[in-house]
Amino acid sequence: MISVNDFKTGLTVEVDGGIWRVLDFQHVKPGKGAAFVRSKLKNLRTGATQEKTFRAGEKVGRAQIDNHKMQYLYADGDSYVFMDNNTYEQLEIPGSQLEYELKFLKENMPVAIMMYEGETLGVELPKTVELEVIETEPGIKGDTASGASKSATLETGVTLQVPLFVNQGDMLVVNTEEGSYVSRA
């Protein structure tokens, strides 16, 4: 058990029978009444986020998540195959569990598979990935006052906003948490 006063971003806890990751939290001490902790939690099984308020000092269960380093191999119908780099065991994960991650997943990419008591919860991507631009309009010089952007489609099919100087065939560094352009590779 862990006190809600000890919440940290990224901590995994068991609340109401679900496995949740703390995305954000705030300790609130009103002038009148007892202190409480307002938190934003993400359900690791369903991907849903929820705001929840706890009384200060309330105890919740701590969920021990194991991260297994694996490599994404290929898509097989509606499931995706990953391989453990040490044991060469293969693991299939249904596409419904990877909806967001599929935007950035490409073959042979190293990932971490989150597991809780033998149950696969999902895939943790690297913070940034390098993806190739397969389609974008050419940027026109002098077409901007400041900070203009255009949309570009990357090799995994995701579309995001990029600066005007990015061209088709360029390799980009993309932030997987926010789904945003970082820089050219």
- Do 2-62 and 66-124 come out as alike in CATH topology? no
pLDDT digits (tens, 9 = 90+) for 89-126: 999 988 888 888 888 998 899 999 988 888 888 888 89
Q: Which CATH architecture has domain 2-62?
A: Roll (2.30)
45: left (phi over 0), alpha (psi -120 to 50) or beta: alpha
Q: Which CATH superfamily does the domain covering 128-184 fall into? A: Nucleic acid-binding proteins (2.40.50.140)
Here the tokens at position 153 are 């489609």
pLDDT digits (tens, 9 = 90+) for 133-185: 999 888 666 655 667 788 899 998 899 998 888 888 989 999 988 888 898 87
The model carries a pTM of 0.73
State in Å, rounded, how far the first CA of the chain is from the last one: 44
At residue 146, the pLDDT reads 65
Dihedral sign, Cα of residue 104, residue 108, residue 111, residue 117:
positive
- Identity at 53, one-letter amino acid code: T
Other CB atoms within 10 A of residue 19 CB = 22
In CATH terms, the fold of domain 66-124 is OB fold (Dihydrolipoamide Acetyltransferase, E2P) (2.40.50)
Residue 132's nearest CA partner among 152, 149, 110, 107 is 152
Kindly provide the b/e burial profile for residues 42-58, where b requires at least 16 CB atoms within 10 angstroms of the residue's own CB.
bbbeeeeeeebebeeee
Contact 118, 145 (CB under 8 A): no
Read off the DSSP letter of residue 157. S
Domain residue limits, the chain: 2-62, 66-124, 128-184
